[in-house]
Amino acid sequence: MQNLESLFQSFETGIRSVKATKPKEYLNKIGLDYAELRIGFNSGQFHHNKSQEAKDEFEALGMLKKSDAGVRKEDLTAYTVFGRYGLIFPLLSKENQIVNYFALRFDLESPKEEYLNSEGIYPSYPNLLTKRLYIVPTVIDCASFLQSKALENRDAVIAMHSGTLLPQHLEAIKSLHELEEIIIIKR
């Protein structure tokens, strides 16, 4: 059974590939380091040479959608791939399982940001002992903040979902019984 966790491992392998020069150049341009953060690269080919059963599993996860595009062989199905040729960031559940992806499709005329679904928190649910919580508007802002090493002991940072606090964010904040300060960073 395919799941978002095992698929993300393949994306992490993808970003380390010698062929992944454009994603690495883009990360360098925006100042993020895939060696320090959990970032993957989706070339859009994870489903190639897979069984129909595997493709059905990817479709159930939301990673593939059937398409009307033409195909070379009659017995093949065309698919649209979530986050194709994009940087992939994992969002986690309370149990630290990957339940969602944020994709930054950087190679388009205008970069496009998209979520697979509305679950999870990036980079993770804050530790219950958090005293100071930073809330930032986007996953990219959050990744930059994490990499800056500005967080001190018992600090945490979370990214809003497209600039919005979802129920899981509010639930996570309410669970922080030692929280003394919330700092909201706006653009």
With a pLDDT cut of 90, the percent of the chain lying above it is: 75
Q: Is 144 helix (H, G, I), strand (E, B) or coil?
A: helix
Query: Based on the domain organization, do 54 and 98 belong to the same domain?
Result: yes
Domain-terminating residue out of 89, 115, 141:
115
Per-residue confidence band for 53, with pLDDT thresholds at 50, 70 and 90: confident
Does the pLDDT at position 11 exceed 60? yes
- Contact predicate 120/96, CB 8 Å: no
Number of domains in the chain: 2
- The range of the structural domain enclosing residue 148 comes to 132-184
Lowest mean pLDDT among 72-86, 117-131, 166-180: 72-86
Per-residue confidence band for 153, with pLDDT thresholds at 50, 70 and 90: very high
> Is 172 inside a domain boundary?
yes
Query: Based on the domain organization, do 49 and 80 belong to the same domain?
Result: yes
Does the pLDDT at position 68 exceed 70? no
Q: Work out the average pLDDT over 127-142.
A: 97
